[in-house]
Structure formats: structure tokens, C-alpha cells
Amino acid sequence: MRMSVIGTGYLGATHAACMAELGHEVIGVDVDESKIALLSDGKVPFYEPGLPEILERNLTEGRLRFSTDYREAAEYANVHFLGVGTPQQRGSYAADLTYVRDTIATLVPLLKGDHLILGKSTVPVGTAAELQDLADLLAPEGTTVEIAWNPEFLRESHGVDDTIHPDRIVVGLRDGSPAEPTVREIYASQLAEGIPFLVTDRQTAELVKVSANSFLATKISFINAVAELCEASGADVVALADAIGHDDRIGRKFLGAGLGFGGGCLPKDIRAFMARAGELGADQALSFLREVDTINMRQRDRVVQFAKDTFGGSLLGHRVTVLGAAFKANSDDVRDSPALNVAGQLSLSGAAVSVFDPQAMANARKVFPTLTYADSLTDALSGAELVILATEWQEFRDMDPQEVGKVVDKPNIIDARNVLDPVQWRDAGWNIRAMGRTLS
């Protein structure tokens, strides 16, 4: 099938390349000229394992191309995926729908014939209906535009596999919508694999996405709250999470106590969910998410406090190395990154902070140009009085405490992701502190 993908960021570029990989003919459109130039040249503008190979292959085989011109998308395809950003509004918890509305306002007047727009961006409930009204208003005479919502569940760093083999496909249609057969055709190979296909109304599909993210955020904040209790009572949150995780109603995933969640989705999605609940007069229903958010943000302050404790209360002049800048491992995404937040707070508290990340250095520099960025892990560790493991990259998990001990000035480490073996580090002479663990 022919299709366009509007918005070629983390979601859209991955989706466009993966749809081509499934055999479709795809054009990706973005307003960012530099991004389109890179993609057209076979270069992924961000770090996503496996994506460069798929991009390259499908460009070469002629199933994939990119453009900044909406007219090309309008003429090329009758199916359009919408994957533009929906960031948090400045000064509000609500989602900023400017880019989503702009896409409809630009694309729809250019369309001729019958078109389907499948929304992938994460949006507040009611957005699809609002966009349908806008599309009906702007569609040229004789043109029909159907808007349906097909939320995206990909995880950055697993984006390719999650797009090609999703654990479910959800599509929200309005009453009487003719779109279901087209959606089934798009995802035919996945449906043949037996991947669950759920057809709902539009508002349920919109809510599925924010509910899933809110649940995951709640699970992380739950274990982080328990971690605080573990510290206060001399217990161990890792052993506790292992024990409760054996209950298959609970599960071990997302029970990693540590520095908490960040990135371009979870923080803004739970806030937008609360804001929308308020607009709908149901704000009390989601007030617990405010606490989820607060617990999450508190982890960043707690790590900074641990760092201060290491030096008797003041960070002034102390050399601290922060390992990690991306919001999670195997990504270069620094949007609302807990690691960078901690690095920034330490710097503002007077520490001399050195940051190293295997992939996110360029993005980190743009957000926090005043921090010092090391050229390598060894360079970052050299002369440190305190090391903070803030993003769980394998390279950091694999560090040898004996070797690292030879490079640093003082053997102090905070494992803010609970990925190191504390006994091994302590036996190597380190003073190690970890979130929610009593290591005496």
C-alpha cells in the first residue's frame, strides 16, 4: 500500500521505515529540513538500534523517500499517518496540540478523493473528534477525510521491533467509519502473525495510550516510594521487588527502584492526562497522578542529597562524574532526562560536574551547554571524588570496580539505577550507595 507519515521524529521516522520494511510504499514528511535531508541521505537523526539498516535498505530499494513538501504526500497516498509532537504546553500541564492541528490544516486542503488519516501521536481524549471537525471544514469539495486513532506503543531503543512486532494494534473509529478494512490491510502481515487487533471508538483508543503510560509511571513511582521506606527501615528494595514480582498479577518489570522515569513521553503524558481530566470535570479521578509525578521528581533531589551527604553537606568545588545523559540506555533522547537534571542540579550547587554518555552527548550539550562533557568513560572518571551512575548503559554496568578505582581520586559511587553489584564494589574498597538499599 502507499502511505505517508507526517512528522519524522523518533516515532515517525521509525514508523515510516518499518512500514516500508513491511513492503509498503512510504513517503515521510517533516517541516524540519535538516532532518529530512539526513533521512533522505540514509542517516537517522537520532540513535535507535536497528533503524539505520532498515532506513538504508528501503531507500535503496525505492520503497521509502522523504520530503518537506506536503503536496507530495497528498498526491502520493490516500492513507496518512500523523506522528508529529504533542509536547507539554509552556506554563500548563496540558498537551500542546499546535503541531497536530497544523498538520490537518496544511494537509487536508491539498487532498483529492477519499483519504484516511491515522493519528499516532499521543493526544488528549477528544482530539480525534476535534480534528475530524477541522478536516470536514477544510476538505475541498468532493473530498472525504476520515480520521481514526491508532496509538503507538513503541519504546525508544526497541522501536524497530516494537513497530514490526507490536504486542497489540489498537484503532479507534467513529460510528459507521469505513476505515477498518484499510487498517487491516496496512497491518495484514502483523494480523497474520496473530498480533491482537482491537477496534474501539476513538476516545477509548486515545485513552488506551495515556492509561498505559500512566500505569507504567505509577508502577515506577510505587517502587520508588517503597524504596524510601526501605531506606528508612533498613530493608532492601531490590530483594523486595524480586519477591513481589514473582506474583504474576504484579510482575517484576517496571519495578526497578532508582532515579525514576523521564523522556519525551511518560512525564508529559501523565500531566496531559490530569489536565484533560480537569477539563472534563473528572480531576479528582486522576489526582493520584500528581503524587506519582511528585515521587518521581523527588528521586532526582534525593540523588543530589546523597551526593551532598558524601561531602558532609556541601558540593562546593567537589569533582563529580555523572555517567549518563540520556533518559534511558540505548537512546540519545535527553528530553526530561533524570540524569541531566541531576547533573544540572549538582553543577548549580557548586560541584565541578563531568558528564559522559555513549550516545547522547550532542543532545545533552544543546540542553546544558555549561556542563563539562568528557571524551570517554575513562576521561570522565579520571580524578572524580564521586561517581553517579545515572543511566543504565551496559558500558557502565560492566565497569570493573578495581580498574575504576585506579582512575578516580576517591572511591565514592552512587548507583542511582541499582544495576551494580554492591558487594563486589564494596569489596573493592568503594563507598557505594544505592537507591532503596541498605548496604551496611
Give the span between the Cα atoms of 118 and 63, in whole angstroms: 20
The question of whether 230 is a catalytic residue gets the answer: no
Give the span between the Cα atoms of 98 and 7, in whole angstroms: 13
Residue 357, interface with ligand NAD (CB under 6 A)? no
Query: Which of positions 271-290 make contact with ligand NAD (CB under 6 A)?
Result: none
- Match 581520586 to its residue by C-alpha cell: 409
Is the Cβ of residue 102 or residue 421 nearer to ligand NAD in the bound state? 102
Is the Cβ of residue 12 or residue 260 nearer to ligand NAD in the bound state? 12
Residues 6+ apart with CB under 8 A from 100: 82, 84, 86, 119, 121, 123, 127, 131
Is the Cβ of residue 122 or residue 345 nearer to ligand NAD in the bound state? 122
Residue 434, interface with ligand NAD (CB under 6 A)? no
Is the Cβ of residue 85 or residue 338 nearer to ligand NAD in the bound state? 85
| Minimal CB distance residue for ligand NAD | 9
Question: Minimum distance between the CB of residue 95 and ligand NAD, rounded to whole angstroms?
Answer: 8
Per-residue contact track with ligand NAD, 152 to 191, x per CB under 6 A?
x-x-x-----------------------------------
Is the Cβ of residue 105 or residue 129 nearer to ligand NAD in the bound state? 105
| C-alpha closest to that of 342 among 300, 384, 308, 381 | 300
Residue 3 has a CB neighbour count (10 Å cut-off) of: 24
The residue count of the chain comes to: 440
Question: Any bridge partners for residue 354, and if so which?
Answer: 321, 372
Per-residue contact track with ligand NAD, 235 to 274, x per CB under 6 A?
-----------------------------xx---------
Phi then psi for residue 151, to 5 deg, are -55, 150
Residue 9, interface with ligand NAD (CB under 6 A)? yes
Question: Measured at the alpha carbon of residue 108, what is the angle toward residues 104 and 113, in degrees to the nearest 5?
Answer: 145
Question: Minimum distance between the CB of residue 36 and ligand NAD, rounded to whole angstroms?
Answer: 9
Query: Which of positions 73-112 make contact with ligand NAD (CB under 6 A)?
Result: 83-86, 99, 102-103
Question: Which stretch, 30-38, 178-186, 292-300, 303-311, contacts ligand NAD (CB under 6 A)?
Answer: 30-38
| C-alpha closest to that of 9 among 99, 71, 97, 96 | 99
Query: Which of positions 119-158 make contact with ligand NAD (CB under 6 A)?
Result: 121-122, 152, 154, 156
Question: Any bridge partners for residue 88, and if so which?
Answer: 95
Question: Which stretch, 9-17, 170-178, 179-187, 193-201, contacts ligand NAD (CB under 6 A)?
Answer: 9-17
Tell me which amino acid residue 37 is. Answer: A
DSSP three-state, residue 241 = helix
Write out the E strands in 223-380: 319-323, 352-356, 372-373
Candidate residues 1, 31, 250, 428; the one interacting with ligand NAD per rule CB under 6 A: 31
Counting residues that bind ligand NAD (by CB under 6 A) gives 26
Provide the 8-state DSSP code for 95: B
- Match 576521561 to its residue by C-alpha cell: 379
Contact criterion met (CB below 8 Å) for 28 and 12: yes
Question: Minimum distance between the CB of residue 268 and ligand NAD, rounded to whole angstroms?
Answer: 7
Residue 35, interface with ligand NAD (CB under 6 A)? yes
Task: Indicate which residue of 11, 265, 292, 355 is catalytic.
Answer: 265
Question: Minimum distance between the CB of residue 83 and ligand NAD, rounded to whole angstroms?
Answer: 5
Provide the 8-state DSSP code for 175: T
Flag whether 30 is marked binding: yes
Cα radius of gyration (the chain): 23
Contact criterion met (CB below 8 Å) for 268 and 196: no
Tell me which amino acid residue 29 is. Answer: V
Q: Which residue positions form the known binding site?
A: 30, 35, 86, 122, 153-156, 209, 254-258, 262, 268, 328, 335
List contacts with ligand NAD (CB under 6 A). 6-12, 29-32, 35, 83-86, 99, 102-103, 121-122, 152, 154, 156, 264-265
Active site residues: 265
Query: Which residue positions form the known binding site for NAD(+)?
Result: 30, 35, 86, 122, 156, 268, 335
